[in-house]
Amino acid sequence: MNFQFSISNFQKNVPLNNHTTFKIGGPAKYFFAAKTKEDIIQAINWAKKNDLPFFILGGGSNMVVSDKGFNGLVIKIQTTNYKLQAARLHAEAGVLIETLVRETGKLGLSGFEWAGGLPGTLGGAIRGNAGAFGGEIKDNIIEVEALDNKGRIRKFSKKQCRFSYRDSIFKDKNWIILSAIFVFKNGDGEKIKEAAREHINYRKERHPLEYPSAGSVFKNCDLKDVPINIRNFFKDVVKTDPFPVVPAAAIIARAGLKGLRAGGAEVSEKHPNYIVNKDNARAVDVLKLIKMVKKKVKENFGIKLEEEIQLLGFSSNNLLTK
């Protein structure tokens, strides 16, 4: 390959386990930290020119990287500028969610309390329409700026983003989020900060944060997708998120799968919708465990669990459905 790339912080053979919350994954052949919109576009153009696959990396949560790594270019989004003016926020994709929760809370702006303790970056949250405690990232969005597959910078209204449960047009079409604009409501600053703190503490108490993980592995199950003959078995755990769902954690727990292991990966005893890296787990361990959980849940309850996590560096993105 005729390699010419002018950006100074370009790297080769960078271990991706250091860039994911799971602490799993082999090296990226090429790695670039993009600090501006122009950096992102230039890196993508270079990859396309050299017929090289590329991947946009945010905070590294909700993903599993192959033990063999990624034979392409990983573009780490480090665009971290944001501006809060009155009740409006303009933020770039690389800003951490925890930063936005903290800063909007300081100003008494209500709308991000639900995201207290949520890991990752804004771009990743928008892509998967992240949500918790009855709230979703889409709730306060006015506009999203993204790069489509033809390299055009486009602006999308909330409606055009096609948000649905843990999904968006950006996830469906693999378009790259650059920035977004939000609007909030003015509220009581102390109450807003306290609500965010409660959610942070809830995560600390209920989630297995003592071990590396990718966060929730499976989407919660729409109550309509639960076979009628077993709905009563789960009626005590149904919650609104933002529509009636049966938590995946409850389904996995009632299938008796807490503590199930494959190699160094384990279904968390504390929160069974987490798979934790208990003992130097490999990506193959995680995939094996996901398949085991899906198989057992399907056999026991007739429920088909759907993953939230994304795969990188594998020969097929359909490995978990086989």
Cα distances from 156 to residues 102, 144, 241, in angstroms, run 26, 5, 25
Q: Work out the angle between the directed axes of helices 97-106 and 189-206 (0-180°, nearest 10).
A: 150
H/E stretch holding 205: helix 189-206
88: phi then psi, degrees, rounded to nearest 5: -115, 145
Rounded CA gap, 215 and 203, in Å?
Answer: 11
Find all residues with CB under 8 Å of 224, minimum gap 6, and list them: 244
The residue behind tokens 């992102």 is: 40
Tokens at 310, concatenated: 């994304």
Query: Exposure of 93 by Cβ count < 10 A (0-12 exposed, 13-18 middle, 19+ buried)?
Result: buried
Residue in 274, 255, 106, 112 with CA at minimum distance from that of residue 182: 112
Rounded CA gap, 312 and 7, in Å?
Answer: 24
Rounded CA gap, 146 and 149, in Å?
Answer: 10
Q: What is the set of active-site residues? A: 166, 216, 308
Rounded CA gap, 48 and 51, in Å?
Answer: 5
Rounded CA gap, 160 and 203, in Å?
Answer: 32
